[in-house]
Structure 1
Amino acid sequence: MGSSLGLTLPSQAQAASNTDAKNLGSRLRGVQHFGITVQNMDRAFQFYTEVLGGTEVMRDGDFFGDRIQNTLLLSEEVQAVEDGVNPLTLGVPDLRSGAQRLDVRFIQFDNVVIELLQYRNKEQPAGGADNFAPARELTSPAFPRSMHVCFYIRDDVDFNQFVRDLEAESARRGMTNVKANRIVRATTNAQRLGAPIDSNTNAITEGPSAGWSLIYCKGPEGEQLEFVQVRGHAKQVFDGAYKARRKALGN
């Protein structure tokens, strides 16, 4: 039925659909995984499984072709065309022709899955250290678009000792680029490593975040990681928010 202005009025089904579109969150089940593009697949896999104790879910790879290129990289290719530059100069691999390939491995932790991705030249073997694009040199978490993966530490674990053991175990495996911050200033890595053990954790004791303890750490690929314990007031806040959300979604 048309309006007096010659416009088509939305049906009830269309109106309901438009209303639902405003509440996209009600259609989600939650976060499925975090993805990390790596320089060295085998090294990253060793860190997340053998050092942090994740369990491999599956691996797949040698992906290439028009469909996967468009699925993953269409926006970057469009931007390259608009800018009049070769996509390769922007770090966009050529999966379309198969000159580059994509490999993935999924690792399960208790509450989230980590996906490791490696884009490599087709001549390079899967799992090696030769990534298609160079690693980004600027890795400060303050850059817009930067992301990080945060891991829970159990409530009964000594956070400070965990950080020390993490660095020591990583170094034993040759992953000397696994570096955790300290809550005291250091101007050299020697000073950072020599800081008192109780400087390995920032324990917040007042305000809305009371009970939250954290430290930032670089992973073996230069990726930004965070480790946290959530106890006391902060735990109550997060547990309450989770229960409220489940109730609102009818779960």
Structure 2
Amino acid sequence: MPGMRGPDHIGITVPDMDQGVAFFTDILGCQKAMSFGPFADDKGTFMTDLLGVDPKAVIETITMLRCGFGSNVELFKYTAPDQRTLNQKNSDIGAFHIAIYVDDIKAAKAFLDEKGVPTRLGPLPVEQGPAAGQSILYFQSPWGLQLEAITYPNGEAYEKDGGPILWTPKDPAK
């Protein structure tokens, strides 16, 4: 895409805006920047034309969050006649997760446990292959959003191969 510089934000629809903002600020450490809305078109097809949603969909609130040195997060609180609740697994086609870089993954695990946030196995150190040097821990939000805590304080094995190095929030200048 001409002029592409990188991801600006990740948009996530939440069931409850207060709960979503609290999770992203109190648990992940993001900062609320602004909220606005509502957006709706009760007479036409604006919502379908612009966003591909039901023409009667309403965005009650949009909240933008600044999350450390990474991409911003945009939370949406929608209501729509055809709205569904997705209970995705990482193995589902089109599924996604958000990876959050942390300096100390053991401290992150202890914090999540203290806050009652469901976690999976880990932290799991990756010891072989191009991703060797990572440690990962999957966890989820109260509404089921999949997240991953990741760290690689000494880099990853692939970096020694001479190819492109992935951007990292641990050193945003690179």
TM-score between both structures, scaled by the size of structure 2: 0.80
Q: How does 1:26-175 map to 2 (within 5 A)?
A: 27-65=3-41, 66-73=45-52, 92=54, 94-95=56-57, 100-109=58-67, 110-120=69-79, 133-136=83-86, 138-154=87-103, 157=104, 159-169=105-115, 171=116
Unpaired runs of 5+ residues, structure 1, are 1-23, 75-91, 122-130, 172-177, 183-199, 245-251
Once residues 216 and 202 of structure 1 are traced to their aligned partners in structure 2, the CA distance between those partners, rounded to angstroms, is 9
Give me the identity figure in percent.
Answer: 23
Tell me how far 1:243 sits from its aligned partner: 8.2
Unpaired runs of 5+ residues, structure 2, are 168-174
Higher strand proportion: 2
Asked if 2 retains the 8 angstrom alpha-carbon contact of 1:202 and 1:213, the reply is: yes
Tell me how far 1:120 sits from its aligned partner: 2.5
Once residues 111 and 62 of structure 1 are traced to their aligned partners in structure 2, the CA distance between those partners, rounded to angstroms, is 27
**In terms of mean alpha carbon deviation, does 142-151 or 61-70 score higher?**
61-70
Higher helix proportion: 1
Q: Which has the larger radius of gyration?
A: 1
1:179 aligns with 2:118: yes
Structure 1 consecutive aligned stretches of length 4 or more whose deviation exceeds 6 Å? none
Tell me how far 1:133 sits from its aligned partner: 2.8
Once residues 243 and 223 of structure 1 are traced to their aligned partners in structure 2, the CA distance between those partners, rounded to angstroms, is 24
TM-score between both structures, scaled by the size of structure 1: 0.57
* Paired residue type of 1:101: I
1:202 aligns with 2:134: no
* Paired residue type of 1:164: A
Once residues 64 and 235 of structure 1 are traced to their aligned partners in structure 2, the CA distance between those partners, rounded to angstroms, is 49
**Count of residue correspondences:** 162
* Paired residue type of 1:161: A
> Cα RMSD over matched residues?
2.8
1:65-97 per-position Cα deviation (integer Å, ceiling 9, x unaligned): 2333311116xxxxxxxxxxxxxxxxx4613xx
Tell me how far 1:132 sits from its aligned partner: 7.6
1:241 aligns with 2:153: no
Structure 2 vs 1, CA of residues 225 and 93 (structure 1 numbering), >3 Å: closer, same or farther? Answer: farther
